[in-house]
Amino acid sequence: MESNRIAIGAGLIFLFLGLLVGFLIGWFSKPTLELPESYKNAISDEDPQISERLLAAMDPTNIRNSLEYLTNDPHVAGTIESYQQAQWVKQQWLDQGLDSAEIIAYKVLLSYPSDVPGEENRVQLLNNDGSVEFESQLKEKPLDPKGMTAGYCRHSTRILPKEK
């Protein structure tokens, strides 16, 4: 019985000493990190002159024209229209003084609608026995009376800036 108490007491002492040594090692081995000047500038208080310059440089007409171009035609990722828009944005950036810009191609798996009868993309909800409980529509009525949907923002007046 006495030997159990001694073992438990010794174990508690070693546990306490181990925690103390670990704490001291952690405390004194902390690196003293000096932040780079660029980071200090980034987290400093805002400079009202910069905000004023940015707002003064914005031209609602340019924003409107850019939004009209970018939303005028459908541009599904990976299509020619999407690439043409990327080229247009790149040229805009270069024209506005950006030193360089490049378009980088990515290989991604995209599911495009099929025009082959019988191979159309569809979503089905199946029962345990494999029978179809629900199947999505293959085609929907167009939103635009002309038979095509307009660009996402083309007819929206809420997102375009007001003229000065």
Domain residue ranges of the chain, discontinuous segments joined by +: 1-33
Do residues 121 and 111 lie in contact, with contact meaning Cβ atoms separated by under 8 Å? Answer: yes
pLDDT value for 126? 94
**Rounded to whole angstroms, how far apart are CA atoms 20 and 160?**
63
* Nearest partner of 66 among 158, 154, 155, judged by Cα: 154
Report phi then psi at 155, rounded to 5: -105, 10
pLDDT value for 44? 67
pLDDT value for 150? 46
pLDDT along the chain (164 residues), means of 10: 84 91 83 74 75 85 91 84 93 92 86 78 90 86 56 46 49
